[in-house]
Amino acid sequence: MMGESAGRVVLIAGPTASGKSALALSMAQSLDGVIVNTDAMQIYDTLCIVTARPSTDEVAQVPHRLYGTVPATTRYSTGRWLEAVRGVMEADAGRPLIFVGGTGLYFDALTNGFAEIPEIPAAVALEVQQEIQALDADGRRKMLEAVDPVAASRLKVVDPQRLIRALAVQRVTGRTLSSFQDTPQAGLLDEISVERMVLEVDRDVLRDRIARRFEKMFESGAVEEVEALLALSPDLRVPAMKAIGVPEISAWLSGTLSADDAIGQAITATHQYAKRQRTWFRNRMGDWPRLDPLAS
């Protein structure tokens, strides 16, 4: 199996519920390859069902890397993911690597490089958050323009998270966020032959798959996963607490939503997320070949 496929790299991007994992598994089996997680939520432990990570049976069939390796109570950056990918590429050198997921920023960093911005202490981010919490949209833009006019010029909307990041980076490093972003970077795959694809599925088909998948999640362990996460008393601002399904199931557990409403809101949130993913792939990965793995 190795032969011509040795060292091959395949990138499979696509919106949630589009069949990415099934395609990656099939390819990994045929190539004797390794599947590498390229999804920002599937990196966390505790939430296997909620984040639609590969099942235990799937993981047993071919090697899977970077799934559930980070505590759900912590934050994880794109830079740290890239460092982990470097480790995978060294450990699995010579084997086909199949990167699969729905996080466009991960694919962008992998192929185009990523600004190495120093880690921001949580205390600094919290301090900045408290300072800006009373600002409206106009106030946030004016503050960013004063600190980093280049970054401000690139944003249609200066949301709180972007402002917090820009201010915290400047406070910790003495440099603007845009100066880091404008430093020339190299992707990890610059000298490797790469096969790229974005999965595109009929929207009605995708909507149906999203609905059926979350209903199944709710019945097959998603609730217990959210209970386990809440039992860890995580900071409400960590990414895992914002994973689709966690806020909705949490609200049901607390009695503020019915089960039907929790499921309905989670399905709606997933539809909205899939739309944002498609927009990213269209704008940032428009030259990648498209494939519908569900087409008959």
- In 14-78, beta strands by DSSP E: 34-37, 64-65
Helix axes 259-284, 104-112, angle to 10 degrees: 30
Q: Is 153 one of the annotated binding-site residues?
A: no
Whether residue 262 contacts residue 214, with contact meaning beta carbons closer than 8 Å, is answered with no
Q: Is 55 one of the annotated binding-site residues?
A: no
Maximum alpha-carbon separation in the chain: 61
Q: Is 94 one of the annotated binding-site residues?
A: no
Q: Is 16 one of the annotated binding-site residues?
A: yes
Q: Is 18 one of the annotated binding-site residues?
A: yes
Q: What are phi and psi of 273, to 5 degrees?
A: -65, -45
List residues bridging with 197 in a β-sheet: 12
Closest CA to 120 of 149, 80, 68: 80
CA separation for the pair 2, 171 (Å, rounded): 50
Q: Is 113 one of the annotated binding-site residues?
A: no
Length of the chain: 296
Pairing of strands 64-65, 290-291: unpaired
Is the four-CA dihedral 265, 216, 49, 223 of positive or negative sign? positive
Q: Is 286 one of the annotated binding-site residues?
A: no
Q: Is 17 one of the annotated binding-site residues?
A: yes
197: three-class secondary structure by DSSP: strand
CA separation for the pair 256, 232 (Å, rounded): 21
CA separation for the pair 286, 247 (Å, rounded): 32
Pairing of strands 290-291, 97-101: unpaired
Binding site listing for substrate: 16-21
Binding site listing: 14-21
Binding site listing for ATP: 14-21
